[in-house]
Structure 1
């Protein structure tokens, strides 16, 4: 799990009848809460039919994302530009979206060699909500604002708020607070004309339609969130020079699997043999990118690492500089 992260579960009061009536009216208009007319009685279907039905619904997600590719690309460019100036990427959500953000954030250090503080996942209810639902936490506007304040956001930071409904109070409050602190904000939902989108600098609204199991937004909506976060983090890291060609080169060999992957990466990129890859990786302290540069330029590992730093970590530029 990425750090820093909210760790306290905020207590919230029980909702009043007036609040429940208001929410009932709101969700009654949401596509994500609608019953799917194609599957009126799941129990009446065979297991094979259920599998086929879920698979056909999931297949609708990429097509829905495709309609928003231009917006996603714009968001990535905004985030990458800010991160290149030292900013962070913050994901914030409640329930499934919060867990998706933490998952994506936690994968960045081993995949791209980033510091755990660079991409951060924040979830309503704190650490306890990762493994167990803290359902009332999503209603706390105070907690959303407080969790953003705790991060001491700056102008180069980017905050992606996620809520399938687009109306989650915790997430909307977090986005408003982040925007007030000067961060770039994205409101990512699976309903159009959302309150979350209206609160953010950029609205990303991808309508995937009613869920296979009505209202269970961990399904298509969750799949949509996962696919889009894959795009945001991966393509941002490409723009930041964390890859070379189509290969992960900023990973570090910290376990047996990563060591074997690192050796294969060196051999694939440089054409060297296994013994050379092993020696270069050891000399570079397990840093794949530095080992590649050392092999391709003939520089000692320490000098290769210095040259990388002088070129902001961009391997092609460092190779050019080292072979002039």
Structure 2
């Protein structure tokens, strides 16, 4: 069986996979026998002390490389891995995405929790399907228009102010923009395959421009500045809707959401649930932290199973009655 040695300890290759995680490795060149593993498929070097990517000679068949949680500052030395399909670089000290030109087969790239302030150096990765850049310092979405194979894009916890330059990403199914500084929903007209959109913890005042999102099944707009539920008329496939922690005062604008299963309206200003009777497939309803007094209308929801009603003005007696039919969380 093939193996390598590091500081006197042997590590065996199992089914093309070599696990060297958490070994306090600082220099890849000090791994004895690594360059002889020309059939190696997967290499895990996460949770080490590597600050420079080098020493990947003769590893042309490697498809999976994990360099999470190291001390890497620059992306060099990856050109020796032309067949790489999955690359993990989370939790490092990378400031710029560069030197990935030869990774033409890359499908999955994670560089979250770094110090990147601009998206660059990846537009040639035309086979890329998943891109994760959470927890960086990115202020603008750009230089990704050639990534037309992309299906999942994660940009949460950045400094983005506008949603733009997504027009060519027509295969995108998941878009996560949680915890940014976005002020409006815009430039999503071409994302007609979008199934999940997360825009929680931004500065969005209204729901609009989702006219083409016919396939949208999950929409998260928690903790924004929304005062009215509107603009969702065409989102008839919606299953999960989170509008918690906004300024909504009336239950309205969901007449077409007959497929909705999970609705979160916690911490708003809603006083009654008139209109909710149209949501005949609703199973989970969260209305904690509102001024709701009467919930008799919930008896008209045949599929409802679970209700969250903490911090409301509903009487204790009525809550006890509800507990006979529903799962109640206080």
Q: Do the two structures share a fold, i.e. TM-score over 0.5?
A: no
RCO higher in structure (CA 8 A, sep ≥6): 1
* Structure exhibiting the larger radius of gyration computed from Cα positions: 2
Q: Greater helix percent: which structure? A: 1
| Bin of the TM-score, shorter chain as denominator length | under 0.3
TM-score for both structures, normalised by structure 2: 0.24
Q: Greater strand percent: which structure? A: 2
